[in-house]
Structure 1
Amino acid sequence: MSEPSVGVRRPVWRSAMVGRDPEEGHRAATPLELLFDLCFVVAVAQAAVSLHHALAEAHVGAGLVGYAMVFFAIWWAWMNFTWFASAYDTDDVLYRLLVLVQISSVLILAAGVPRAFEYKDFGLVTLGYVVMRLAMVALWLRAAREDRARRRVALRYALGITVVQAGWIARLALPESTGLASFLVLVAAELATPLWAERSLTTTWHSSHIAERYSLLTIIVLGESILSATVAVQAGLDGEAPTSTMLTIALSGLVIVFSMWWLYFAHPAEKILTSNRVAFPWGYGHYLIFASAAAVGAGLAVSVDHASGKSHLGDFATTTALTAPVAVFVLSLWLVHARPHHPGPLITAAFLAAPVLILATPFTPFPLPLTALIMAALTAASGRGTARTR
């Protein structure tokens, strides 16, 4: 009888939750982690669609703030589980049940996203988020009991997460005028918890496994942007928009998204993830990468709405709704993912010049094709630089 494929294991009722070997060979994402990612993308899609509607209605400021807040909840819950699973994935029955609780909770969060955007009602989003985080507390408490060597680290995580969740619940009772300020305070507390917990001793996360998990979510988020653009173009073609305009948006969008994929995977992350000193800024910086990648889909949808006469935005604001997230993606990708590889002065100059040029395209008659051309040129330059380095 053949052995199960890598990453697929038969769960047992109970196994010891101790730190896994960070040098373990052939460490791959598990089917449960893939299911986890797919369910999180439901929430990402809801956030992107809500951003699209807010921008199309010319509610730019409220839409961007709401998107940043909701996306933080989605990304932070995903990231915390991902790093925990890299160190403590036992894949037994109890572990699976707690992960399924988190998956169910993200669906609750996703259901609350439209209300958060439209009515600034964060009750359902907060409920889903807090339940997810409390499931993580249960996992950390189990790790504290069974991994004696890292008991202090696990207890710090459990305590920090619990205190911050109490803050999120209390925030619902605060007046609306304090909403953004209280959100930023709690975000700072969330971000500080791992830094405090692992100050003296680190968890045994696996660099290749972490790199793969981030790569998989990048692919899924980019795929969501393609889906959003495809649905929008289909709706536009069924309306009265010129076919040539729709084809321009579609082709430009494809080139942009394909270039984003190419640029992200030009540099293998596992080679630089050697310590928490590198891993923390790398992991945290992906908030901008993921959020901007998802926002590109919203920007493409807004462009289609504008071409169809369904948007309240002007020409400049419409094109900026797409070019701005593309520029943020390029710059954040450079700072977080490409720069640590020391690609050389030529590639550095290309990465720094590209966002400036992309942000300038709305001042031209052909902003989307020019943005696509800049992304393609950056991809070509980055590919040549990577080949020379290798």
Structure 2
Amino acid sequence: MSISLSTVPEAVMESEPKERRYLIRRPKALQYFHNGQLKKAAEKERVAGRFELFFELLSNFADHLTEEPSGAKLLVFILVFTPAWHAWADAKENANNYYNDDILQRCAILWIMALLILYGNNANYVAEDIKALRATVAAYQCIWFTQLSFFFMYSVASHHHQTQNRIYAGLIFLGLFIWAPLYVEEVSHGAKIGIAFAAIIWEEVSYVVGFSPIVANMMGLEFSTAVDIGHEDDRYTAFTIVVLGESTYAILAGSPAEGGLTTRLLRAVWTLVIAFCFNSMYVFTDGAIENDHPIRRSVWTAFPWLLIHLPMSAGLLIGGHVSAYGTNHLMESGHRWLWGGGLGVGMLCMWVLAQLFLDCDPPGKLLLPKQL
């Protein structure tokens, strides 16, 4: 008895379950802990590309800083980049826990990116124009209100992350009021800077409190949140590649190194070398052949691994943009400080990331050990 090869693919295709598509889908937790045991739902592969569009809306922050390097501009960059990072991180958190890919989730992502356009077009002028400051704060508060609304909706639709989602949504709701004094023109610039830093710290603490397994254990929760390490790694890797890619884009846009073998071409190549080396260092982490990821090791390595990406991305973004700027411009003292400081912060953060991994290679496996 013979079987035609041409019929095999059809038979295989008929035996495979067909993917269902939803207009509106009830949120389902993709991974969670049940009495300390990790449970994962069978889901299709989640892709990161849609969320890295967030970064393309934010790259002008570094451009503005590069054009007029100063301590005041650097402070503004920190205060506007960090909230934008939080917006991306929360969108990533939602996708990590509930990748519905339905019309509601897609519209929410589009709505948040539209708000980021408003945010990004006004954020660079918050120190100069009260209207720009109010527009920036209003856009950011709308972003957070959208995010916490989805966290609360997920807590109603699915019981697996119910308590922690509500705690986090409640803390973020309270944090919205911290930003309110920035609308008042009579409040001094120094006070507004302090308020902005307080709000940023509140958001960082809210994330740790809301999703920490320590808090979940203290409350005796039967169900608690879990992290898909592979998905989380993909998200941060994609974002880091986009950060480094901004500097390589800048050495091509407008042909700053035109004219053949010139000094400008050499500077552009060195900018590429810098981005390539940082990308290699990030991808190879601690250099071990076998290691334990910080998220898998313990909560004391997981949260530092998650949070350290913020200063690392900010530093690499600044350093990369200044490197590209130097291709066609003469660097002043302020540019050199930003260039060295940005890349230095990025390098230090990568060293910390490498230390958070647990090297599982036997002694003598590699030519040089992780710790010299």
2:172 maps to 161
Match among 194, 201, 206 for residue 228 of structure 2: 206
Within-5 A mapping of 1:33-52: 33-38=48-53, 40-52=54-66
Q: Deviations over 1:66-122 (max 9, x none)?
A: 111111011111112212221122222222222221122122212223323664742
In structure 1, distance between residues paired with 2:57 and 2:367? 37
1:293 maps to 316
2:108 maps to 98
CA contact (8 A) 1:84 1:205 kept: no
1:247 maps to 265
The alpha carbon displacement at 1:297 in A equals 2.6
Deviates more, 1:284-293 or 1:9-18: 9-18
1:261 maps to 279
1:181 maps to 194
CA contact (8 A) 2:137 2:182 kept: no
2:246 maps to 224
In the alignment, structure 1 residue 132 sits paired with structure 2 residue 132: no
In structure 2, distance between residues paired with 1:27 and 1:334? 34
More helix by share: 1
Q: Which ranges in structure 1 are unaligned for 5 or more consecutive residues?
A: 345-382
Within-5 A mapping of 1:39-118: 40-55=54-69, 60-116=70-126
In structure 2, distance between residues paired with 1:107 and 1:37? 14
The alpha carbon displacement at 1:331 in A equals 0.5
In structure 1, distance between residues paired with 2:292 and 2:123? 33
In structure 2, distance between residues paired with 1:254 and 1:195? 36
Deviates more, 1:100-109 or 1:183-192: 100-109
More strand by share: 2
Identity of aligned residues (%): 19
Q: 1:229 to 1:324 in 2, by over 3 A?
A: farther
CA contact (8 A) 1:52 1:301 kept: no
In structure 2, distance between residues paired with 1:338 and 1:139? 34
CA contact (8 A) 1:43 1:74 kept: no
CA contact (8 A) 1:141 1:155 kept: yes
Q: 1:247 to 1:305 in 2, by over 3 A?
A: closer
In structure 1, distance between residues paired with 2:155 and 2:94? 12
The alpha carbon displacement at 1:329 in A equals 0.7
The alpha carbon displacement at 1:246 in A equals 1.0
CA contact (8 A) 2:76 2:124 kept: no
In structure 2, distance between residues paired with 1:11 and 1:176? 50
CA contact (8 A) 2:31 2:226 kept: yes
In the alignment, structure 1 residue 29 sits paired with structure 2 residue 50: no
Q: Deviations over 1:244-282 (max 9, x none)?
A: 331231121111110000000002898332254332111
SS at match of 2:125: helix
1:339 maps to 355
The alpha carbon displacement at 1:343 in A equals 5.7
In structure 1, distance between residues paired with 2:59 and 2:348? 23
SS at match of 2:58: helix
In structure 2, distance between residues paired with 1:123 and 1:331? 35
2:344 maps to 327
In structure 1, distance between residues paired with 2:42 and 2:159? 24
1:277 maps to 300
CA contact (8 A) 2:240 2:313 kept: yes
Structure 1 runs of 4+ aligned residues shifted over 6 Å read none
In structure 1, distance between residues paired with 2:340 and 2:91? 32
1:372 maps to none
CA contact (8 A) 2:66 2:335 kept: no
Q: 1:303 to 1:188 in 2, by over 3 A?
A: same
In structure 1, distance between residues paired with 2:50 and 2:123? 20
CA contact (8 A) 1:112 1:125 kept: yes
The alpha carbon displacement at 1:125 in A equals 2.3
In structure 1, distance between residues paired with 2:73 and 2:173? 29
CA contact (8 A) 1:288 1:329 kept: yes
**Which of 1 and 2 has greater Rg?**
2
Write the letter of the residue equivalent to 1:70: V
Q: Which ranges in structure 2 are unaligned for 5 or more consecutive residues?
A: 1-9, 33-39, 361-365
Write the letter of the residue equivalent to 1:324: G
Write the letter of the residue equivalent to 1:295: I
Using the size of structure 1 for normalisation, the TM-score is 0.75
